[in-house]
Amino acid sequence: MRNILSKDMKLITKHIVLWGLVLLNSISFAQSPKLTASAPSAVANGQQFRVNYSFNQQGNNFKGPSFKEFNYLTGPNQSSNTSMQVINGNVTQNVSYTYSYILQAAKEGTFEIPAASIEYNGTTYKSNSLSINVVKGNAPSTQQYNQPQPNNKQQSTTSEEVNSKDIYIRAIPDKTNPYQGEQIIITYKLYTSIAVAQYGINKLPSFNGFWNVDLLKDAAAKAKQYKETIDGKQYAVVEIRKIALFPQKSGNLTIDPLEVEAVVQVQTKRKSSGDFFDDFFNNSFFGSVQNVKKTLKSNMVSLSVKPFSVNKPVDFNGFTGLLNFKTTLDKTDVKANEALNLKLTVSGNGNLKLIDKIDIEFPPDFETYDPKLVDNISTSASGVSGSRTFEYLIIPRKEGVFKIKPITFSYFNLASKSFVTLSSPEYSIKVAKGAPGQGSATTLTTSKEDIKYIGSDIRFIKTNSFDLKQDGSIFFGSSLYFVMMFLPLLFFVAFVVLYRNMLKQRRNVALMKNKKANKVARKRLVLASRYLAENKREMFFEELSKAIWGYISDKFTISLSQLSMGNVQEVLQQHNVNEQMVFQLIELLNSCEYSRFAPDASSISLENSYNEALNLIRNLESQI
């Protein structure tokens, strides 16, 4: 009995000590300050590689080495990682701050990278130097990284732990056996069961053999979001791209995969040692969220396109779909040299822009011009539809009665699976003699190809007398003459100087992002305000979150994959941002994430969140 009580008392004491340590923030650091450099020992000539400098404390004034033997691409990019351990009742916190560079091998040989330095509590710490062997062709498969091995008691989540069932992309065509020229809609859906911080399209399919139209390129056409359950697992689904395709040839055609890079948020976990305290600290309260990049590829799409029948009409121009054809003539009784307007309108579903010409046989005594095209074509999630109008200006040059023969238009009808020819009525036009003073049409011959002219078009040479006057000043050789001679040269020099300065600024990607951070954020806030007006909560908070994260990423040159609540707070404090403003920003980001994924977040006001984000970005811009 005494042994049982003794064990219980030890366990209770252990709990009391543990919670006391947590509440008092008396957490000891596991290691003394140390700056460690790591990189691959061998790379291929022309290969890109990463150099990491890890410091186990929060230092200041990090100074990287000179990479004169390599092509410098980017860096230093800062990230941090925090973990906790409980061993025999003692709480230990391990902190790691990493400064990363991306380099490219420029020539073969063995090169030394000098040590980097960082300051901590008034002391300067230096890293180890690195030796990198640059070889010809591919780097050896046995290349090793001079990077410390992870502790056996703890391990961070990596991208391999995000498997293909957690997040993936599917390309879904609405039909796989279309006719040549028939509209096909392919929807690219992103399925995810984990949080996605950001995603972007890396590589688009080439669509060889297709005429393609992006159905979601307009601001009004937003990606649909909904939920689906597949094999008992619930996914959030986003239609990230929707393409209307029109095959221009028959046969078996293949569409390459769409490639997307996503930044997913996963919770870092520690390997369990079987101890109660390790299991307790492995829960979500003490865990941290890590941004992980994941490259996704959709499936390939194979289509079997059916050809047209051999008996195609002569006036068939390749249109496939459902179509209406309408013609109008504004008047049939006119005078010579008086204009007429003939309108031809084709409307329906399909690639109407493919219809670029309609053959019309006009009487030889009519003067005609190329038609004016008026398009009313719209794209939506259901495809391409609308109308195209051809407006012809016609001028009869001779009196008489003339006829415009019926105008025909042929297309392939998908409903009947056959060719259909539409026809207009025959138009009879009565042309009277022109009004006096207009001039009459004078015809040299009756042949259609011969030249015709109108008397009123001739303007005679002036025959009356006139006086010539000599100008008192001569422009050539004057001061104004020389000024205007050299002015273009001065403008050209000024243009070259300004243009080179602009190019220099544009090469500085960090500077351009910093300058445009406020502008980009305001554009996203405008989009969020539309969702606010439409009361679309999830889409509103998603766009609001993107605006804030994107602003911080661009303003402080931090990639989205390395952003977290911790380093955002650290960066803002380094720029002397007011602590109250930092607290408000972190609270707003937490509110956005909670509102996006929590089912009971309806109490959070959309309008208050929008105004708070607008004021925060405005105040940050004025303070930094």
Task: Work out the average pLDDT over 304-317.
Answer: 80
* pLDDT of 518 higher than 70: no
What gap in Å lies between CA 551 and CA 543, rounded to an integer? 12
Q: Which of 417, 371, 389 has the alpha carbon at shortest distance from 324?
A: 389
* pLDDT of 173 higher than 90: yes
Query: Residue 278 region, left (φ>0) first, then alpha (ψ -120 to 50), else beta?
Result: alpha
352 close to 244: Cβ distance less than 8 angstroms? no
- From 3.40.720, 2.60.40, 2.40.10, 2.30.110, which CATH number describes the 316-453 domain? 2.60.40
pLDDT for the residue 588: 78
Secondary structure of residue 419 in the 3-state scheme: strand
Secondary structure of residue 340 in the 3-state scheme: strand
Answer positive or negative: Cα dihedral of 216, 219, 220, 226. Answer: positive
113 close to 4: Cβ distance less than 8 angstroms? no
Structural domain boundaries in the chain: 23-147, 161-305, 316-453, 509-623
Name, in order, each residue with C-beta under 8 angstroms of 498's C-beta and a sequence gap of 6 or more. Answer: none
Task: Work out the average pLDDT over 429-452.
Answer: 55
| DSSP state, residue 40 | B
For residue 237, give the amino acid letter: V
pLDDT in tens, 582-621: 777 777 777 777 776 665 555 567 777 788 777 777 777 7
pLDDT in tens, 473-498: 677 777 888 888 888 888 888 988 88
Q: DSSP assignment of 568-600, as one string?
A: HHHHHHHTT--HHHHHHHHHHHHHHHHHHH-TT
What gap in Å lies between CA 359 and CA 468, rounded to an integer? 55
pLDDT in tens, 140-149: 333 333 333 3
Task: Work out the average pLDDT over 442-469.
Answer: 52
pLDDT for the residue 127: 92
Q: Average per-residue pLDDT in the chain?
A: 75
pLDDT in tens, 59-98: 888 888 888 888 876 667 777 665 545 444 454 556 678 8
Name, in order, each residue with C-beta under 8 angstroms of 142's C-beta and a sequence gap of 6 or more. Answer: none
* pLDDT of 186 higher than 90: yes
Instruction: Kindly report whether the peptide bond that precedes residue 406 is cis, defined as omega within 30 degrees of 0.
Output: no
What gap in Å lies between CA 263 and CA 175, rounded to an integer? 32
Task: Work out the average pLDDT over 339-353.
Answer: 86
Q: What pLDDT band is residue 561 in, cutting at 50, 70 and 90?
A: low
Q: Give the CATH fold of the 23-147 domain.
A: Immunoglobulin-like (2.60.40)
Q: Which class is 509-623 in CATH?
A: mainly alpha
What gap in Å lies between CA 386 and CA 373, rounded to an integer? 14
For residue 243, give the amino acid letter: I
What gap in Å lies between CA 387 and CA 410, rounded to an integer? 16
Q: Are strands 90-105 and 28-29 parallel, antiparallel or unpaired?
A: parallel
Q: What pLDDT band is residue 172 in, cutting at 50, 70 and 90?
A: very high
Tokens found for residue 85: 């351990």
Task: Work out the average pLDDT over 301-315.
Answer: 83
56 close to 95: Cβ distance less than 8 angstroms? yes
Task: Work out the average pLDDT over 305-326.
Answer: 81
pLDDT above 90 covers a percentage of the chain that reads 9
Task: Work out the average pLDDT over 201-224.
Answer: 74
572 close to 582: Cβ distance less than 8 angstroms? yes
In degrees, rounded to 5, the angle at the alpha carbon of residue 355 between the alpha carbons of residues 426 and 243 is: 145
Q: What pLDDT band is residue 171 in, cutting at 50, 70 and 90?
A: very high
pLDDT for the residue 537: 76
Phi, psi dihedrals of residue 244, rounded to the nearest 5°: -95, 125
156 close to 211: Cβ distance less than 8 angstroms? no
pLDDT for the residue 7: 47
Secondary structure of residue 334 in the 3-state scheme: strand
pLDDT for the residue 497: 87
Name, in order, each residue with C-beta under 8 angstroms of 49's C-beta and a sequence gap of 6 or more. Answer: 39, 40, 43, 102, 103, 104, 105
Task: Work out the average pLDDT over 268-274.
Answer: 56
> Long-range pairs for 225-234 at CB < 8 Å and ≥24 separation?
225/538, 225/539, 228/191, 230/191, 233/165, 233/193, 234/193
Same fold, 316-453 and 509-623: no
What gap in Å lies between CA 527 and CA 529, rounded to an integer? 5
pLDDT for the residue 289: 67
What gap in Å lies between CA 572 and CA 64, rounded to an integer? 22
Secondary structure of residue 296 in the 3-state scheme: strand
Task: Please report the beta strands in 330-440, taking only residues with DSSP state E, as ranges in sequence order.
Answer: 333-335, 340-349, 366-368, 372-380, 383-396, 400-404, 408-413, 418-423, 427-432
Task: Work out the average pLDDT over 153-169.
Answer: 63
Q: What pLDDT band is residue 121 in, cutting at 50, 70 and 90?
A: confident
pLDDT for the residue 142: 33
Q: Which residue has the higher pLDDT, 167 or 200?
A: 167
pLDDT for the residue 80: 65
Q: Which residue has the higher pLDDT, 513 or 456?
A: 513
Least confidently predicted of 127-131, 214-218, 348-352:
214-218
pLDDT for the residue 158: 44
Least confidently predicted of 277-286, 390-399, 485-494, 525-534:
277-286
Q: What pLDDT band is residue 570 in, cutting at 50, 70 and 90?
A: confident
Q: DSSP assignment of 520-568, as one string?
A: HHHHHHHHHHHHHHHT-HHHHHHHHHHHHHHHHHHHHT--GGG--HHHH
What gap in Å lies between CA 476 and CA 314, rounded to an integer? 65
